[in-house]
Amino acid sequence: MVRILELRKEKSRDAARSRRGKENYEFYELAKMLPLPGAITSQLDKASIIKLTISYLKLRDFSAHGDPPWNRDAPLLKSIK
């Protein structure tokens, strides 16, 4: 009976370790997609990756749909004389 419980615990630990590994891989891949240097993204924790990703997506959406839209037909800046 004790051996069965030990096997269950070990199996549970292995499953949790596997889930964490998969999760860490996905966070690493997400961080690589951010428009930041690799030296910075490699040092980010999970919460920072999520926060930066959300901010980036909001900014990208705003730049496409903001008022005035920044990425379309932007007038050229006139030099001050």
pLDDT in tens, 22-39: 999 999 999 999 999 999
55-to-34, 52, 59, 62 alpha-carbon distances in Å: 10, 5, 6, 10
| pTM given for the model | 0.69
Q: Is residue 71 predicted with pLDDT exceeding 70?
A: no
